Structure 1
Amino acid sequence: MHGIVRTVDRLTPHLTRVVLGGEGLADFEPSPFSDSYVNLALAPPGAPYDMPCDLDEVRLAVAPEHRPVRRRYTVRAWDPVARTLTIDFVLHGHGGPGEGDPGVAAAWAAAAAPGDVLQLTGPGGSYAPDPEADCHLMVGDESALPAVAASLERVPAGAPVHVVVEVDGPDDELELTSPGRLAVTWLHRNDHPGAVDLLVAAVRALELPPGRVHAFVHGEAGDVRAVRRHLLLERGVDRSTLSASGYWRRSMTDEAWRAVKREWQAAVAAEA
């Protein structure tokens, strides 16, 4: 499955939106999850083939350094009438904010232009706001914004929903909307150089209504781990109502983080 780039728009200094269309998306079927994602296949520089390709054949035929690189990205929107797929890309740092290595998918998005081809598989997913929850909480950074924005659209009308997002500065804020009773806290890391506890401190300071909290905590791995511990051990949030995942890791390249992510997830899951 593949899409042809229709439009590319810079939403903020560090977030760009790519809209895909074309007959290569004819078989795309949306998932029921609001954190729905697709797996992108990107040819590394110097690859001796064009995209789209037969991924299995290419994997067997070329050297490891030329094999397609796979990256997972949130489906920001799917238009079933126009049959267009929208994906938002963070444009800096280790697959996440504030670091030096942009990652192969971010580099692709930074150079994307109408007519370019993007191969993908999926979608998958695991989270959607529970309509029976008493309160919704969504926490993360730029890398989680597409999933947060898509999930906010699925919160029941009038339901309390608190969002806490860390970004570089005011220019990186997005307009977020929801049928729910929305409260948004923006944290600017450039105002606190070197600080690594902005998210957990902000979540700890929140006054949540009584009842069952459905939480979505995604973004930098250390922040996710700290917020998860707080929610489980200090707030008493039920593990079954908490979706938590580290998308990237400070001081690690995209590849280095992918190599240890499974082990990290297992260690975090065993904590509480």
Structure 2
Amino acid sequence: MLIIIKPSDKKNHKNSVDWLLKECKKRQIEPELYLTTGKFENDCADITHLAKNQSQVVVIGGDGTLHLAVNALMSSRCSIALIPAGTGNDFARGFTCKKQAWYEAVFNSRTELIDVGQINQRYFINVAGIGFDAEVVTQLNKAGSFSSFGYTWQGIKQLFSFRARSLQGEFNGKALNYSNLATIFANHHYFGGGLKIAPRAKLNDGQLDCYCMPAGGLLKNLISFLYLLLVKHHSLHALEYTQLTTAEITTKGLAIEADGELVGFTPAKVKIHKQALRFHVP
């Protein structure tokens, strides 16, 4: 078993690590620990190398640490278990279960094959986005603050300063050109520290739920954000919602976020890898 840990001094994080190590000792499992450094490419290469001799990987961290593990393990046969210990935990939130269920899933042989999205060269397990959400992630990185409240507050602030740009793309063969507030590709339900962007998404249906949300004036943008907070955005007249397997954004220079991490800029090609990852479902 390879255990990937994002270093943290939070009490619940320490408790999770202590519990897992104690359980490994009880079950006579010799775990190998890897502490992430924050340098994505180096961490990814190290984890890929270490996983060659393992059958299971356990991630103790949040969406960013899970994102790292998924990118490192896409060519591996390892199963992945998660103990949520981040600030947002949006991927874990989509399972609506208690912490104990995640603990039990680590040593449970019941696994499921789930889909993984890809945007350019980066894989994502939860949500990727272009536009407003990527700008919020940019500002949170600058502030060094990540929390559900922080995302919502930063989102409200950015609504007053966000400058929408035109986006051109092809979504499952359909060409669209619109002033972009947010273009979201969702594999699971939540993003942004608890915003339920994709209530219809399924992890094993071989599709991404795509939301093309056009920008308007300040009032229209505020209304769109409010509808999103209330999970009423499917009723927005201007929203273009579809389920797809491929998409291509041809506009250049728009920031891209994936699983809450800044991963580059457009142009971008998006696709889904059906049942690509074996996951310990709680």
What is the TM-score when the length of structure 2 is the normalising length? Answer: 0.30
Task: Tell me the TM-score normalized by structure 1.
Answer: 0.30
Relative contact order, CA 8 A, sep 6+: which one is greater? 2
